[in-house]
Structure 1
Amino acid sequence: MRIIRFLQSGGTPILAAVTDDSRVYRLPQNDFMELVREADEEGKTPLAWIQGIISSGEPIPEMLEELELVVPLEAAEVWACGVTYERSRDARNYEATGGKLDASTFYDKVYEAQRPEIFFKSTAARTVGPGRDLYLRSDSNWQIPEPELGLVLSREGRIVGYTVGNDMSCRDIEGENPLYLPQAKMWKGSCSIGPAIRLVETVEDPYSFQIVCRIFREGEKVVEGSASTGQLKRKLDELVSYLLRDNTIFDGTVLLTGTCIVPPDEFTLLDGDRVEIEIEGIGVLSNPVKSQVAGSIPV
């Protein structure tokens, strides 16, 4: 079971459930975390609560592909983890050493350390949904998408769902100095999530998600890579536990768990590219890429 939000005529977002046979059912709540709270109050899982609703309802006539999807939830905060995969560690080392192969840096220490790297990534105003434009940072010449599994968390830190995330990154800025990480990671239109939330109770093994990233340029596929969450260095609960340490999080906080798919070192995103990130069982998050134009990005 997946949860989506789509725009009805007039532009109002509608919360809906998508069954495994792709039928779409409208839900009475305005947002996903409201649904989770109501299910908790009734002592049910969100899946059981939804099944009770749709058992006496009818699906909408539109097909899923016909709907204009928006972010599945408006996450007040998006956090992200770094160097959680060996491939990510190697890429960070390459950036930090000016392109030396097999070089070791402090990123090796982060990869092996007890404490994971966790950083603030985005806010609701900076995060876009499926089909919306991502923006290139104007002062970077080496930018890539970072395909990641996202954890949707309750305010208590309970994982209630999984989504797809794109943690856009400036490899040149981060490689120049690790203290520049916020600038390498966070700007308007630098993060996308969606197209759906997969209910946690419908996933038998979150370490078996298959992730695929495709980048298209002028209609041609120029990059494709795949990975599995089974390659994660750390456990998901471990990452969440560090986010919660001496910290307050909001209902619907999203924690991106790191990337294992890095385009070739000579590659950078360009204006007009399109990024597709697919996680089996969740969906395909597709976003066009645009160059920054002063004053063109809504806050």
Structure 2
Amino acid sequence: MRIIRFEKEGSAQLAAVNDQDQIFALQQSDFLALIHEADRLEITPLELVSKAIEGIEALHDQIDQLQLLVPIEAPEVWAAGVTYERSRDARNYEATEGRLDASTFYDKVYDAVRPEIFFKSTAARTVGPGGEVQLRSDSVWQVPEPELGLVLSAAGKIIGYTIGNDMSCRDIEGENPLYLPQAKVWKRSCSIGPAIRLAEAVDNPYNFQITSHIYRDGEKAVEGTANTNQLKRKLEELTEYLIRDNELFEGTVLLTGTCIVPPNEFTLAHGDRIEIEITGIGTLVNHVVSAGN
């Protein structure tokens, strides 16, 4: 079962989407209200949704006909890095100017007990499905990073799964690791959506198939696939380090790292379209605009 938000007559409407892509309107106005109601009734969110849509008629709209909103206005978005071997290799390439035989701190963090976790975005900097992600004006090597996102409770419990795009400036990060915040955080540098799959509706989070396409001038420029079974670290391991001595806000999203990296000669350009699909969640589509647009 997936949860979406869409605009209806100027207001946000919450809805459930079953595996047959039928859409059912819900009474709650946002995802956390749904979670709170389930907690109050001492049932799971999936049980609450299943009871709420039992016997009611599905909407006549298709998902692509709705004006989708970000599925949750996450107060904070965090991200984990170097959680896949492919990501480690890409970071090494940036840091060593292509000398792949050179060992770096990325190798160390890949094998370390402590994972890399960094602050990525806020609600104001995050866009939803169909929104525009923005290029940074002082970077010439920028890429999307398709990632599985964890929607967390204040205690760090995984309550849902979504799709995230962790926009990244490879040249800035490669120049100096201390520049990581500038390589990761700027206006409209993150997107999440189009839906949240309830945690109880996922049998195995280590079997999500991730597919990414980048289109330029209507032609496919880059494509890649990965599976969360390639993750080096467990999801609970990442969340445990995020909440350690930290105040976590309810509805925080943690992006879990990427295994899909475009060719080294590729950089995003104004007008590109990014599509990230994760089986069971949906397809997150965003368009790329230059700084200042």
Equivalent position amino acid for 1:2 in 2: R
Higher mean Cα deviation, 30-39 or 276-285? 30-39
Higher mean Cα deviation, 28-37 or 257-266? 28-37
Structure 1 residue 154 displacement after superposition: 0.6
Structure 1 residue 43 displacement after superposition: 1.2
Structure 1 residue 5 displacement after superposition: 0.3
Q: When the two structures are superposed, what TM-score results if normalisation uses the length of structure 2?
A: 0.99
1:118 corresponds to which residue?
117
Higher mean Cα deviation, 21-30 or 200-209? 21-30
| Structure 2: gaps of 5 or more residues | none
- The percentage of counterpart residues that share the same residue type is 68
Which digits, 9 at most, give the CA deviation of each residue in 1:123-157, with x for residues without a partner?
00000000000000000000000000000001111
Q: When the two structures are superposed, what TM-score results if normalisation uses the length of structure 1?
A: 0.97
1:238 corresponds to which residue?
237
Equivalent position amino acid for 1:90 in 2: D
CA distance in 2, matches of 1:180, 1:37: 39
CA distance in 1, matches of 2:102, 2:128: 37
Which digits, 9 at most, give the CA deviation of each residue in 1:233-255, with x for residues without a partner?
00000000000000011111000
* Residue 6 (structure 1) aligned with residue 6 (structure 2): yes
Structure 1 residue 68 displacement after superposition: 0.9
Equivalent position amino acid for 1:195 in 2: P
2:29 corresponds to which residue?
30
1:87 corresponds to which residue?
86
CA distance in 2, matches of 1:248, 1:27: 30
SS for the counterpart of 1:25 is: strand
Structure 1 residue 56 displacement after superposition: 3.4
1:134 corresponds to which residue?
133
| Structure 1: gaps of 5 or more residues | none
SS for the counterpart of 2:86 is: helix
CA distance in 2, matches of 1:278, 1:102: 33
1:50 corresponds to which residue?
49
* Residue 169 (structure 1) aligned with residue 168 (structure 2): yes
CA distance in 1, matches of 2:229, 2:103: 24
CA distance in 2, matches of 1:4, 1:46: 14
Which digits, 9 at most, give the CA deviation of each residue in 1:96-121, with x for residues without a partner?
01121232101000000000000000
RMSD, aligned α-carbons: 0.8
CA contact (8 A) 1:33 1:154 kept: no
Q: Give the count of matched residue pairs.
A: 293
Which digits, 9 at most, give the CA deviation of each residue in 1:42-99, with x for residues without a partner?
1111010011111132222212221111100000000000000000000000000112
Structure 1 residue 167 displacement after superposition: 0.0
1:157 corresponds to which residue?
156
